[in-house]
């Protein structure tokens, strides 16, 4: 069984730039959720993708957007990067939209300068 994978591991961007983060869900899972974890904080829910549609969104602005592909992998796109976007971005996969059995990937650490 293949776990959740994310790429890249880390990257550095400049304020105002755009970034795309990628996630491959665990084998057999059809749902991907994205979270942002600032240093010293718990993860915050960004949004979830279920059957290639956005299925719920947290308190994040529209410059955070995503996609899910037919193979259930997913992308998170962030436009017009701000310094406060610096964080660990986590992808979690699950079988179905319920949150209580989500399995996380290793995360992508984004630094915005």
Residues that bind other proteins (CB under 8 A): 4, 6, 33, 35, 40-45, 48, 50, 55-56, 58, 90, 92, 97-107, 109
**Least separation, in Å, of the C-beta of 22 and other proteins?**
14
The token pair at 102 is 């989500």
Which residue, 31 or 80, has its beta carbon nearer to other proteins?
Answer: 31
**Least separation, in Å, of the C-beta of 16 and other proteins?**
27
- Residue 110 CA to residue 9 CA, distance in Å, equals 9
CB atoms within 10 A of CB 73: 17
Q: How far is CA 88 from CA 24, 37, 53, 55, 69, in A?
A: 17, 5, 24, 22, 23
CB atoms within 10 A of CB 57: 15
Which residue, 41 or 79, has its beta carbon nearer to other proteins?
Answer: 41
**Least separation, in Å, of the C-beta of 100 and other proteins?**
4
**Least separation, in Å, of the C-beta of 113 and other proteins?**
19
Are 23 and 90 within 8 A, CB to CB?
no
Which residue, 40 or 62, has its beta carbon nearer to other proteins?
Answer: 40
């Amino acid at each position: 069984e293949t776990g959740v994978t994310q790429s890249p591991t880390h990257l550095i961007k400049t304020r105002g730039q755009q970034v795309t983060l990628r996630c491959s869900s665990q084998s057999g899972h059809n749902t991907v959720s994205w979270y942002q974890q600032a240093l010293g904080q718990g993860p915050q829910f960004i949004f979830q993708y279920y059957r290639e549609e956005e299925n719920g969104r947290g308190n994040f602005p529209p410059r955070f957007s995503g996609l899910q592909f037919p193979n259930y992998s997913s992308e998170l796109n962030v436009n017009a990067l701000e310094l406060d976007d610096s964080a660990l971005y986590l992808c979690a996969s699950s079988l179905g939209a319920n949150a209580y059995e989500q399995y996380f990937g290793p995360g992508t650490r984004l630094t915005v300068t």
